[in-house]
Amino acid sequence: MKLNYKSYGHGPALIILHGLFGSLDNWVSHARALEKEYSVFLLDLRNHGKSFHSPEHNYAVMAEDVQAWMMGESIISANVLGHSMGGKVAMELAGRYPLSVDKLIVADMGIKPYPAHHTLILETLSTIPLHTMDSRKAAETYLMERLGSDTATVQFLLKGLGRDEDNRLEWKFNFPVIKQNYTRILEGVSPEVFEKPTLFLYGGKSNYVVPEDFPAIKARFPAVIFQEMPGVGHWIHAEAPALFLQYLKEFLG
């Protein structure tokens, strides 16, 4: 079972891992901005995008998926960037396979466990009658009514909409398995110490990474650099793409 991916450009390898409910499509514009300097590989993690569905969904198996994909593509080592859930996968990969990771970039995610904070989204996705809806607009209206007009979240979720073989709307991500394994997604990670250069980018308006988290992170990643992006929330790459790319290039360069 191989992960779905797209590649862009030529140069040192850079693997990018998306977050919960996302897909590689969320990172295409960033890949195109980097393709003149890097071979950028965008991966769909298991139970997301066009990758395989599996009843198992935790950071250990997702890290193994990425390592297996690298071996299948004859990529000995790469820079690895992960956002949110993808950040924990990247950290787990670096801890398990340090020779496979040259530099590690974690976008707005810590190593700690998190309290449940997707309850409303999970409830909404559990009740939306997709198969009776004839358009994306109908799905958008349903989501907006129930998510308090949170436009950014609604538009993000709508990117996960596809159609089945009968042309009915369906989620690309494996929602039943994600919901069943939600507590596993909230879990912290305790990777082995990774001594290579590591960048933690975090949003100044986000509470995913705060200064109180720094000592525990530094214990696992002693060569870490912390970089705040002021005025930016959890989706740091989407809210401030130019600044995000600037920090990324400076770190990789």
* CB 103, CB 248: distance < 8 Å: no
- Asked about 7 being catalytic, the answer comes back as no
Distance separating alpha carbons of residues 138 and 130, to the nearest angstrom: 9
Distance separating alpha carbons of residues 120 and 21, to the nearest angstrom: 14
Q: Which of 30, 57, 234, 237 is catalytic?
A: 234
Taking alpha carbons only, the member of 215, 214, 218, 228 closest to residue 195 is 218
Q: Which amino acid would we find at residue 5?
A: Y
The conformation of residue 21, written as its DSSP 8-state character, comes to T
φ, ψ for residue 23, nearest 5 deg = -165, 175
Taking alpha carbons only, the member of 193, 11, 191, 195 closest to residue 87 is 191
Helix 136-146 with 151-158: angle, nearest 10 deg: 140
* CB 3, CB 72: distance < 8 Å: no
- Asked about 84 being catalytic, the answer comes back as yes
Q: Which of 23, 84, 100, 206 is catalytic?
A: 84
Active site residues: 84, 234
